[in-house]
Structure 1
Amino acid sequence: MPGGPAWLSADVSQGAWVLVVALVLATAFGVYRAARDGRFRGTHRVKGAVEEEVVESVLAGSDIDHELGERATLLQFSSAFCAPCRATRRILADVADVVPGVVHVEVDAEHHLELVRRLGVARTPTTLVLDRHGREVTRASGAPKKDEVLATLARELA
């Protein structure tokens, strides 16, 4: 019995293929997430808003009482045990210190679930760039890079 029973080699072969397929799929998903993580792209339609009515701040009706920036506001949704949220906090605070008229506001997603649902925030950290009126201009899910935040602000504030 040098090769063992035929059914055993067939099971091992099938199991190896399942493992290979699982590894390929996991790697593809990881590459996809790495490519999209922290990138600013588009906006999200605010639930309950009519297209022509989106002239008020996304924070209207919420209990967040923070003054918006003269030019823009970096609105960050975080959670307590989110490691990328801490890095994002540092990056956005640095950008707000460097760019005049820009402020950084951090919101605890766990304590503002109604706002999270209304704005369609699916994960933390999520950063919304708001114009001076508080309207969403663009957003990024995941930890953005400082140079990308600066480039996005330069593009959106021009």
Structure 2
Amino acid sequence: MSTGSWIAVIAIAVALGFGLFRLLTDGRFRGTKELHVAHEDHAPEPHAWNAVTDALGETELGDRATLVQFSSAFCAPCRATRRILGEVAEIVPGVVHLEIDAEHHLDLVRRLDVLRTPTTLVLDGAGNEVARASGAPRKEQVLSAIPAYDLES
């Protein structure tokens, strides 16, 4: 085999590996360690909700959970995520869906370490981040990430 053929085979293998990685990880919720977001004076912030209300003003926190979605205008997976999170907020009592345009709230994106869109944060009733997903999650994944929610109820 020539050098060009080996390069092509390696490039295809790397692309397949990356595609498999994305397939397995996109939309999966991961628990988050205790989040300490720093203000300009570098004092740690106890939960993500303070950062959201600082950026957006007074908004509604769900009794059970708040699904905070970071989106961008030309993001196709963001539209699917908006639909799924909206449906979950309609069917689960005490859950609120809040969509934030990442392009218009870059300071908040940086404060909460959002790396891509869509990113969904699951906040508990006190405003603490309990889970986070990058990519478009499925409805079952969202439901299982909501604190104290049983999928069979």
TM-score by length of 2: 0.86
Which structure's residues are more often strand, by fraction?
2
Deviations along 1:95-139, one digit per CA (max 9) or x if unpaired, are 000000001000000000000000000000000001112221110
Aligned to 1:30: 19
Aligned to 1:70: 63
Deviations along 1:3-60, one digit per CA (max 9) or x if unpaired, are xxxxxxxxx7100000000000010011001100000002264431789751572424
Quick one: distance in 2 between partners of 1:55 and 1:15? 52
Change (3 A) 1:116 1:46: farther
One-letter code of the match for 1:16?
Answer: S
One-letter code of the match for 1:129?
Answer: V
Q: Secondary structure at the match of 1:61?
A: helix
2:10 is aligned with 1:21: yes
Q: Which runs of 5+ in 2 are unaligned?
A: none
One-letter code of the match for 1:54?
Answer: P
Q: Is the 1:59–1:134 Cα contact (8 Å) retained in structure 2?
A: no
Quick one: distance in 2 between partners of 1:60 and 1:91? 23
Aligned to 1:6: none
Aligned to 2:126: 133
Equivalent runs, 1:118-157 vs 2, <5 Å: 118-153=111-146, 156-157=147-148
Higher Cα Rg, which structure: 1
- Length, aligned pairs only: 145
Change (3 A) 1:78 1:56: closer
Indicate the percent of aligned positions where both proteins have the same amino acid. 57
Quick one: distance in 2 between partners of 1:115 and 1:151? 26
Aligned to 2:86: 93
Change (3 A) 1:21 1:51: farther
Equivalent runs, 1:102-113 vs 2, <5 Å: 102-113=95-106
